[in-house]
Amino acid sequence: MTEKITRINPEQLHETPGYHHITVVEAGRTAYLAGQCPLDRNGDLVGAGSLETQVDQVVANALTALAAADAQPQHVVRSVIYVRSDEREILGAAWARLTESALGPAFTTASTLLGVAQLGFTGQLVEVDLTVALPD
């Protein structure tokens, strides 16, 4: 399916820090991952107060979810990243940690980074929502 994914940045739109404005997927199977949170297998929050630790747990969880669907980061066609902050520096730090991780190829596609006031779990600082074009 990877060959059926086309990522486009029209010249008329602004340059991006690694993602693409448009991702086109030919017909095929799609997986919608639930928002991946910084929770361990027992459902306990990991890394209270540490954005880096929480991002690392989200990456680990997302990689596990992708593998369960027989997919890899390069099969992601849409991502939404939620960070509990309105500070550009913190949002940028979350983006950098994600894009430099083993999940990094997922963020070369159509992507949105949002600063939010609250997430679902007390102390949660980050969540990642992924849409995947499953390989044949």
pLDDT value, residue 3 = 61
- Look up residue 90 and give its two tokens: 């913190």
Cβ count near 38 (within 10 Å): 28
Show Cβ contacts of residue 125 under 8 Å, excluding neighbours closer than 6 positions.
38, 50, 51, 54, 83, 84, 85, 119
pLDDT tens, residue by residue, 4-29: 888 888 898 888 888 888 888 887 88
| HSE-CB of 49 using CA atoms within 13 angstroms | 0
* pLDDT at residue 76 greater than cutoff 50: yes
pLDDT value, residue 1 = 44
Backbone angles phi, psi at 60, to 5 degrees: -60, -45
Q: What percent of the chain has pLDDT above 70?
A: 97
- Burial of 87-103, coded b for 16+ CB within 10 Å and e otherwise, reads eeebbebbbebbbebeb
